[in-house]
């Protein structure tokens, strides 16, 4: 279960990361955000940037050519 | 082999200034160079010494004032090796410029057959891709080796990762950051992010478990897998430098060859020192180390370097 979802398919780097960051900042610590990301550049970059911000990626699922991540807000 | 690239000494001030009868600058005392003749009569470019292209804002403000005072045209230029150059300086004012720069702790760079100011990318201090502290290394090389006489110019650079912004393949001696990744099965959830994050196809995902199948031959040791892994199953085992020798640009560019695939930080000074020693013993006057290596043989160099490069096993081994 997630507390919120953000679909970033078609959103370019680094805007996808910035949107994720802003969304997470609006949430409470410990809450889960579901992030949908394209494969390629987005999945190469966004997860490491989320990690660098101190949030935790708790689940990753590949669905065709996109990824569904569950991120726990720090 | 003939070398066509000796800097045109007539365009350098090193000797000329003392014959003018104007203000004397003791160039012998200063490892010489750093003053480059311009097209314009009496005007020279003063090249500053900025290892790694980094300056404190405080110093930059002071340099600006000096440049504004002495540049007849009020312009500076960033050299191709990251150092700031004050343009249009009258040679009669060299002593004053040098004295004022000295006061703020700013040194003038060098030209000619010697170890030059090292260049470097931002490195691991603030660049997310950075694996090594390139700025710290550039500073160390500048402090330890700057101005050391060699048969021809000797350029070094430090790149913090395999993207190699500091172009280590074009240096007489270049150091490029690498990290050896290691994987622990227990913490891996088989999420496949690492194989997506790897730009070299060095990580495949097991079709059943999603867990990584690593191919060290394809790996460039950039650390993308380590940074992307959500569960820290990929970890850095060790950091180091790929060492490249014999590169140059200019009219006849040469690509440097890799002579060590994983040199730790603490061995870098010794590797440079030994390389300079080998170059001074084997290089002809006016011959870059790349040409000396071609003439004398890479094996000769590698044998000489064995004490430094031994036990620096290949990454991924």
Are B42 and B92 within 8 A, CB to CB?
yes
Are B158 and B134 within 8 A, CB to CB?
yes
The shortest CB-CB distance from B191 to any of A49, A51, A60 is to A60
How large is the ipTM? 0.84
Q: Which tokens belong to B1?
A: 């082999």
Over 80: is that where the pLDDT of B22 sits?
A: no
- Give me the pLDDT at residue B2, please: 31
Over 90: is that where the pLDDT of B92 sits?
A: yes
Flag if A48 and B189 touch (Cβ within 8 Å).
Answer: no
CATH 1.20.120.330 for domain B9-103:
no
User: Domain B119-180+238-309: which CATH class?
Assistant: alpha beta
pLDDT digits (tens, 9 = 90+) for B232-255: 999 999 999 999 999 999 999 999
B187 touches chain A (CB under 8 A): no
One fold for B9-103 and B119-180+238-309? no
> In 3D, which of B147, B128, B127, B149 has the Cα closest to residue B54?
B127
For B160-199, b where at least 16 C-beta lie within 10 A, e where not — what string? bbbebbbbbbbbbbbbbbbbbbebeeeebbebbbbbbbbe
CA distance linking residue B269 with residue B76, whole number of Å: 32
Over 50: is that where the pLDDT of B257 sits?
A: yes
Are B295 and B246 within 8 A, CB to CB?
no
For B263-302, b where at least 16 C-beta lie within 10 A, e where not — what string? bebebbeebbebbbebbeebbeebbbbbbbbeebeeeebe
Q: Which residue of B has its CA nearest to A39?
A: B196
Angle (CA) B219 B223 B226, round 5°: 115
Provide the 10 A C-beta neighbour count for residue B241: 28
Q: What SS3 class is residue A7?
A: strand
Q: Which tokens belong to A10?
A: 């078609």
Contact residues, chain B, for A61 at CB < 8 Å: 191
Average pLDDT over residues B271-287: 98
pLDDT digits (tens, 9 = 90+) for A32-73: 999 999 998 999 999 999 998 999 999 999 898 999 999 999
Q: Which domains does chain A have, with CATH numbers?
A: 4-72 (3.30.110.40)
Q: pTM for the full model? A: 0.88
Contact residues, chain A, for B193 at CB < 8 Å: 43, 47, 57, 60, 67
pLDDT digits (tens, 9 = 90+) for B26-66: 554 444 578 999 999 999 999 999 999 999 999 999 999 99
B183 Cα to chain A: minimum distance (Å) = 17
Q: Domain residue spans in chain B?
A: 9-103, 119-180+238-309
Q: What SS3 class is residue A60?
A: strand
A8 Cα to chain B: minimum distance (Å) = 17
B199 touches chain A (CB under 8 A): yes
CA distance linking residue B211 with residue B122, whole number of Å: 34
Put simply, the chain A residues between 26 and 45 with a CB less than 8 A from any chain B CB are 39, 43-44
Instruction: Place B316 in a pLDDT band, splitting at 50, 70 and 90.
Output: low
A12 touches chain B (CB under 8 A): no
**Which of B128, B193, B206, B235 is most worth mutating to test chain A (most A CB atoms within 10 A of its CB)?**
B193
B189 touches chain A (CB under 8 A): yes
- Give me the pLDDT at residue B7, please: 38
- Give me the pLDDT at residue B69, please: 98
């Amino acid at each position: 279960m997630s507390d919120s979802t953000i679909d970033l398919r078609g959103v370019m780097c680094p805007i996808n990361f910035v949107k994720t960051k802003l969304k997470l900042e609006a949430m409470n610590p410990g809450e889960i955000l579901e992030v949908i990301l394209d494969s390629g550049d987005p999945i190469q970059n966004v997860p490491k940037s989320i990690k660098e911000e101190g949030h935790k990626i708790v689940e990753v699922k590949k669905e065709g050519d996109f990824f569904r991540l569950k991120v726990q807000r720090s | 082999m003939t070398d066509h690239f000796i800097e045109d000494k007539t365009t350098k001030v090193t000797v000329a200034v003392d014959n003018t009868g104007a203000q004397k600058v003791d160039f012998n005392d200063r490892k010489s160079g750093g003053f480059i003749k311009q097209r314009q009569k009496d005007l020279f470019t003063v090249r500053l010494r900025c290892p790694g292209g980094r300056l404190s804002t405080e110093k930059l403000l002071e340099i600006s004032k000096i440049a504004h005072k002495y540049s007849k045209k009020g312009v500076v230029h960033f050299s191709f090796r990251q150092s700031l150059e004050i343009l249009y300086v009258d040679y009669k004012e060299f002593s004053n410029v040098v004295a004022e720069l000295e006061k703020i702790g700013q040194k003038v760079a060098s030209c000619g057959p010697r170890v030059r100011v090292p260049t470097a990318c931002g490195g691991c201090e603030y660049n997310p891709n950075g694996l090594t502290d390139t700025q710290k290394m550039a500073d160390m090389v500048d402090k330890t080796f700057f101005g050391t006489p060699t048969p021809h110019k000797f350029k070094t650079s430090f790149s913090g990762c395999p993207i190699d912004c500091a172009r280590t393949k074009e240096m007489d001696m270049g150091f490029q950051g690498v990290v050896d990744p290691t994987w622990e099965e227990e913490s891996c959830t088989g999420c496949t992010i690492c194989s997506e994050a790897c730009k070299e196809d060095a990580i495949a995902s097991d079709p059943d478990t999603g867990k990584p199948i690593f191919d060290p031959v394809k790996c460039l040791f950039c650390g993308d897998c380590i940074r992307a892994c959500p569960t820290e199953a990929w970890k850095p085992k060790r950091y180091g430098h790929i060492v490249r020798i014999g590169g140059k640009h200019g009219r006849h560019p040469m690509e440097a060859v890799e002579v060590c695939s994983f040199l730790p930080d603490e061995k870098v000074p010794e590797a440079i020192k030994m390389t300079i020693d080998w170059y001074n013993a084997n290089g002809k006057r006016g011959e870059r180390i790349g040409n000396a290596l071609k003439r004398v043989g890479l094996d000769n160099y590698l044998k000489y370097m064995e004490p430094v490069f031994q036990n620096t096993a290949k990454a991924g081994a």
